[in-house]
């Protein structure tokens, strides 16, 4: 690997990271004059680098030209900053015109939706607008044409008679359309360590054009037809990438394969590490947010693992089992071990990111790739045959679709067998368990307050307890399964909960049977909430006592206000006034749930501030998380 490529790549990455910290994390608006200043500075630095190169032309590039190399590094850092600033300006402009820009809900351990939209925003077509690529409607012409071809191929698959699950898997593996995949199917692929089969990458590209690339880089290197055939293969590669929607992993594979094909035509030495770095460099220059895309990161690390780990691993194996491997190679039985070695090398480089993003690790993924990769190869060829045949002969495509459906079933069966093996999935044991805290989730469809005393014991207060299973699924998958060792206890029919010295009261539209008053208008709620705090405080030493209380209406006279830690107002709260609530409760914090309409949240917040009560608007600020101090647990 040559050091200049490393220097240029590192400088470009540094500039992109600096711009991301400024424009995304710090949310600084991109001024309109910034691009001109950055590109002007880059031009001046490029001129200075050229003068330094001419002045020190007789010296070694690394030993005798430190000024030249420093200027080149600075140039690429500024270019990376400028490219990201242009992208950020395009996204900020597009989001500024939206009525509701993408935001995160702020729930614990939730998927970073805002970052995903920022990285994959299709509306951020930055830099110079490619007018020639746009049709009269203003949409990218090539993208529209590719999507039309993709939709026609999908119609051919649907007409072949595949079942819904078979169609979803075939569309994902062959065309990159994962919109039809069910949650269970995605989880099965993830647990089996086969998610890369659903994400179009170098594996799928190698299946489709691998034979042609091998011929061009070996047998046809000195043929007179090498240039026409190479350009034809490169055009087919990028045509397939456009039809598949240009996912980052496939962009990396397409760009790297194109460079290898073109280098073979000019008879240049093809060093894999340099080609990979040059590919990364070009990808970041075109779209700098590829640096933060999970698919691009995993794809580049997997290729790096194969490039740097495969040959040393094979040499190590031959040094110990030379005679056995030679005998297997003689009978053409060495390919499963080679495939296993490739999978092991790729996983050795990608496992940190797999643990970071997916919170689990499939233990037998590399071993079962010996079966899954050949099945996928045949499946991709079969899917292509069905799609092409279906355009001209529907009956023939339906006949071939039966074999494709059988291949899909076999693949799913193999992964199901793998996941049933003992220790197939290493769970998320490295994450810290939940500390004592109170959480009001930002979930307007299913409001919930979660009081956590320990990972083994917690309580869920909800205005609609019957919706706990259906309305809290994504929070349970992302937070509860990782941070809790037992599911929370749902307090059905309750209006208050107290534990670990923390008292929370819910105000909603719920009514006591036989009464027309809400819980907010009762004086008994204040009495029970007060007693809850005392009981929970005395029981907090063991962190196991909880008092869930009914705020049942009564005809008792008004009492003194009861001090509560959190007054949680949810959907259904009537009146819009806190006057009667103040006669019963004196809260330390008023939490306005996201299920309340905006006008009601604004009115309640204004009145609460007039009374001197601190407020927290979940819809605007995200989920409310309050840590329980240590002195409260004693």
Q: What is the pLDDT of residue 256?
A: 92
pLDDT tens per residue, range 103-151: 899 999 998 989 999 998 654 343 333 333 344 344 456 677 888 888 8
| Cα separation, 149 vs 131, whole angstroms | 22
136 three-state secondary structure = coil
DSSP state of 147: H
| Cα separation, 388 vs 382, whole angstroms | 10
Residue 609: count of CB within 10 angstroms of its CB: 12
Q: Beta-strand (E) ranges in 262-380?
A: 361-362
Q: What is the pLDDT of residue 206?
A: 87
> If 0-12 CB within 10 Å is exposed, 13-18 middle and 19+ buried, where does residue 219 land?
exposed
* Contact present, 536 and 582 (Cβ < 8 Å): no
Structure-token match 């990271």, residue found: 17
Q: Give 514-583 as a 3 state SS string.
A: CCCCEHHHCCHHHHHHHHHHHHHHHHCCCCCCCEEECCCCCCCCCCCCEEEEEEEECCCCCCCCCHHHHC
DSSP state of 196: G
Q: What is the pLDDT of residue 137?
A: 44
Closest CA to 45 of 24, 18, 15: 15
Q: What is the pLDDT of residue 41?
A: 93
| Cα separation, 411 vs 373, whole angstroms | 10
Q: What is the pLDDT of residue 213?
A: 72
Q: Label residues 224-255 b or e (16+ Cβ within 10 Å = b).
A: eebeebbeebbeebbebbbbbbbbbbbbbbbb
Residue 483: count of CB within 10 angstroms of its CB: 18
Q: Give 212-269 as a 3 state SS string.
A: HHHHHHCCCCCCCCHHHHHHHHHHHHHHHHHHCCCCHHHHHHHHHHHHHHHHHHCCCC
H or E element in which residue 348 lies: helix 335-358
Residue 139: count of CB within 10 angstroms of its CB: 11
* Contact present, 218 and 265 (Cβ < 8 Å): no
Residue 429 Cα distances to 456, 483, 490, 559, 625, angstroms: 15, 9, 25, 49, 23
Tokens standing for residue 619: 């819809």
Residue 336 Cα distances to 214, 332, 349, 373, 412, angstroms: 20, 10, 21, 10, 20
What is the length of the chain?
A: 634
pTM of the predicted model as reported, rounded to 2 decimal places? 0.83
| Cα separation, 480 vs 475, whole angstroms | 7
Tokens standing for residue 409: 């079933």
Residue 317 region by backbone torsions, left for phi larger than 0, else alpha for psi between -120 and 50, else beta: alpha
In the sheet with 502-507, reading across from the earlier edge strand, the strands are 547-549, 496-499, 502-507, 562-569, 585-592, 615-617
What is the distance, to the nearest Å, from the Cα of residue 435 to the centroid of all Cα atoms in its chain?
25
- In which residue ranges of the chain is pLDDT below 70? 1-2, 56-65, 121-142, 215-223, 267-270, 429, 509-561, 575-576, 630-634
| Cα separation, 438 vs 507, whole angstroms | 17
Q: What is the pLDDT of residue 147?
A: 80
Structure-token match 């997997």, residue found: 302
Tokens standing for residue 605: 């917040």
């Amino acid at each position: 690997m040559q050091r200049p490529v490393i220097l240029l790549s590192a400088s470009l990455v540094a500039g992109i990271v600096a711009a991301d910290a400024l424009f995304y994390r710090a949310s600084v608006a991109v001024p309109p004059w910034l691009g001109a200043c950055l590109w002007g500075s880059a031009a001046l630095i490029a001129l200075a680098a050229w003068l330094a190169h001419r002045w020190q032309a007789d010296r070694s590039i690394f030993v005798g030209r430190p000024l030249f190399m420093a200027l080149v590094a600075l140039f690429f850092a500024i270019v990376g900053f400028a490219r990201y600033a242009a992208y950020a300006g395009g996204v900020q402009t597009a989001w500024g015109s939206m009525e509701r820009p993408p935001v995160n809900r702020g729930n614990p351990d939730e998927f970073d939706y805002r970052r995903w939209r920022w990285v994959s925003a299709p509306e951020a077509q930055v830099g110079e607008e490619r007018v020639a690529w746009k049709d009269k409607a203003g949409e990218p012409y090539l993208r529209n044409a590719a999507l039309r071809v993709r939709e026609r191929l999908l119609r051919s698959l649907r007409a072949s008679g595949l079942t819904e699950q078979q169609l979803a898997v075939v569309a994902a593996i062959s065309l990159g359309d994962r919109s039809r995949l069910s949650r269970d199917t995605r989880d099965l692929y993830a647990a089996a360590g086969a998610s890369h089969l659903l994400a179009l990458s170098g594996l799928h590209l190698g299946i489709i054009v691998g034979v042609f690339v091998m011929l061009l880089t070996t047998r046809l290197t000195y043929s007179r037809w090498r240039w026409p055939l190479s350009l034809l293969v490169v055009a087919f590669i990028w045509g397939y990438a456009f039809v598949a929607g240009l996912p980052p992993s496939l962009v990396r594979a397409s760009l790297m394969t194109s460079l290898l094909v073109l280098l073979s035509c000019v008879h240049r030495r093809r060093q894999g590490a340099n080609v990979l770095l040059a590919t990364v460099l070009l990808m970041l220059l075109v779209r700098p947010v590829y640096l933060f895309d999970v698919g691009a990161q995993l794809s580049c690390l997997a290729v790096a693992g194969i490039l740097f780990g495969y040959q040393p691993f094979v040499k190590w194996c031959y040094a110990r089992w030379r005679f056995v491997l030679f005998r297997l190679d003689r009978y053409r039985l060495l390919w499963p071990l080679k495939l296993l070695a490739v999978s092991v090398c790729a996983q050795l480089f990608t496992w940190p990111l797999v643990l970071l993003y997916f919170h689990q690790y499939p233990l037998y993924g590399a071993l079962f790739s010996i079966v899954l990769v050949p099945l996928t190869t045949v499946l991709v060829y079969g899917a292509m045959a069905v799609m092409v045949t279906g355009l001209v002969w529907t009956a023939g495509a339906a006949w071939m679709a039966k074999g494709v459906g059988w291949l899909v079933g076999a693949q799913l069966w193999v992964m199901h067998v793998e996941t049933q093996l003992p220790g197939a999935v290493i769970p998320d044991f490295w994450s810290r368990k939940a500390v004592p805290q109170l959480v009001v989730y930002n979930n307007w469809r299913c409001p919930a307050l979660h009081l956590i005393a320990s990972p083994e014991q917690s309580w869920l207060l909800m205005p609609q307890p019957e919706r706990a299973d259906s309305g809290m699924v994504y929070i349970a998958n992302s937070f509860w399964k990782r941070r809790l060792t037992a599911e929370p206890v749902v307090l059905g029919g309750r209006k208050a909960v107290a534990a670990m010295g923390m008292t929370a009261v819910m105000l909603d539209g719920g009514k006591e049977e036989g009464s027309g008053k809400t819980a907010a208008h009762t004086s008994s709620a204040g009495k029970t909430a007060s007693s809850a705090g005392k009981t929970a405080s005395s029981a907090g030493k063991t962190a196991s006592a909880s008092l869930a209380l009914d705020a049942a209406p009564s005809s008792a006279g008004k009492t003194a206000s009861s001090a509560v830690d959190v007054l949680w107002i949810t959907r259904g709260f009537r009146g819009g006034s806190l006057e009667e609530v103040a006669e019963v409760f004196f809260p330390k914090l008023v939490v306005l749930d996201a299920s309340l309409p905006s006008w009601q949240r604004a009115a309640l917040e204004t009145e609460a501030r007039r009374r001197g009560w601190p407020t927290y608007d979940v819809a605007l600020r995200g989920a409310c998380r309050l840590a329980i101090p240590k002195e409260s647990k004693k």
